[in-house]
Amino acid sequence: MSWVCKMELSESVQRGLQSLADASSFDQSGFQALVDVSFRSLLSARGDPEVLDQPELKQVDQILLKQTHTAAATFILEAVKHNADRSTISSSLEELTFSAERIEIFYCTYQTHKKELGRLLASIGRRTPRINDVSWRLQYHVKNGQVDKVNEPFYLMSLNTENEGSSEDINFTCTMEQLQDLVGKLKDAAKSVEKASQM
C-alpha cells in the first residue's frame, strides 16, 4: 500500500529520465543495461568508477550517460523512500514519456531490489538502545551513617542493552515505589503501542 500520491521530481531528474525514455539515445538493450547498472551501483558497497563501462552503453554520449545515471539513481532512491507501488511508479514514468514496455522493465527490476534498498535506507539514522535482558536483586537497607534504623528494601537493577551490535549494562537502584512506577510506565507504553496498532 502506498500513501503518497505523487513523487515530486526536480527538473534535472525529469530531464535525465526523459532522455532515458528517448529511444533515439537509449535503445532497448541500452535501457536495460542502464537500469541494471543504476540499481547495482546503488547496492554495491564500493563505488565502482567503471560501472558505466558496459558494451551496451558504449555508443551513448558520456555526459548524457552520467546525467541519466544520476537521474535514474535519484528516482530509484525517491521511489524506495516513498515505498511507491506499481501505480505510482507507472504514472510518474508515463508522465516522462516512458513506453509501457520500459515501465514494465523498470518495475520488474525495482521489485527485485526494492527490499534490499529499503533495508539500506532504513539503516540510516539513529536508534535508542534496546533492552535484551534484565537481572535484579532485592537488598535491604538496615542503617546508614546518619540514621540508625532505615529498614527499607531496595532493588538493584541491571538492564542489558544492545545498540548497534554492542551490548552494554545499565545499572541503577530504586525503591519499591520507583520500581512499581517503572513497571506501570512500561505497561502503559505496551498498551499504547497496542492501541496504535488497532486503527
Partner 1 sequence: MEEVDTILIHALKQVGTEVSEEIDSVKQFSSELIVKAVVRCIQVIDPGLGSGLPTSLPPGMSARFRVGMSLAQACQDIGYKGEIGYQTFLYSNEPEIRSLLMCLVEKLPRESAETSDQPTGKSLVLQRAIAAAVQAQLAVPWLPTNCRLPLHVETQSPEALHSFHVLPLSLSHFTKGPGKKQLKETDYQRDTLPPVTAQLSHHASLMVSILEQHTAELSAAQEWDNEWNSQGLLSCLTPQKYRSRKLTRLRKRIKEQLCSAELPSPESAFGGPHSSSDLCELLQVFKGSAPSDHILTKSTHFSHTQKFTFEQESASVTSSIPSVHQSESDIQHRQQEELASLQQQFQQLCSNVDQLTADMKHMSVTNAQVLNELKHKELGNSEKEDKMQVKKKTIDLLPDADNNLLKLQALVEASTKRLVNLASQWEKRRAPLMDEHRRLKEICSNRDLESSRKLSEIKSLHDKICVSTVDARKKEDIYKQLVTELENLPRDVSRSAYTQRILEIVSNIKKQKEEITKILADTKELQKEINHLTGKLDRTFAVTDELVFKDAKKDESVRKSYKYLAALHENCNQLIQTIEETGTILREIRDLEEQIETENGNKTVANLERILDDYKSIRQENSALAAKVREG
* 104-123: contacts with partner 1 (CB under 8 A): 119-123
Instruction: Give yes or no for residue 196 binding partner 1 (CB under 8 A).
Output: yes
Residue 69 binds partner 1 (CB under 8 A): yes
Distance CA 141, CA 50 (A): 70
End-to-end CA distance of the chain: 16
Q: Which of residues 42-61 bind partner 1 (CB under 8 A)?
A: 42, 44-49, 51-52, 61
Between CA 43 and CA 29 the distance in angstroms is 21
Which pairing describes strands 166-175 and 152-163: parallel, antiparallel, or unpaired?
A: antiparallel
Distance, CA of 75 to CA of 90 (rounded, Å): 12
**30 lies in the site for partner 1, by CB under 8 A:** no
Query: Is 32 one of the binding residues for partner 1 (CB under 8 A)?
Result: no
Asked if residue 157 binds partner 1 (CB under 8 A), the reply is no
Helix (H, G, I), strand (E, B) or coil at 50: coil
- Check: CB of residue 71 under 8 Å from CB of residue 34: no
Q: Does 90 bind partner 1 (CB under 8 A)?
A: no
Give the whole-angstrom CA distance, residue 80 versus residue 115.
Answer: 9
Minimum CB–partner distance for residue 60 and partner 1 (Å): 12
Where along the sequence are the contacts to partner 1 (CB under 8 A)?
1, 3-6, 8-13, 15-16, 41-42, 44-49, 51-52, 61-63, 66-67, 69-70, 73-74, 77-78, 81, 119-127, 130, 132-133, 162-165, 193-194, 196-199
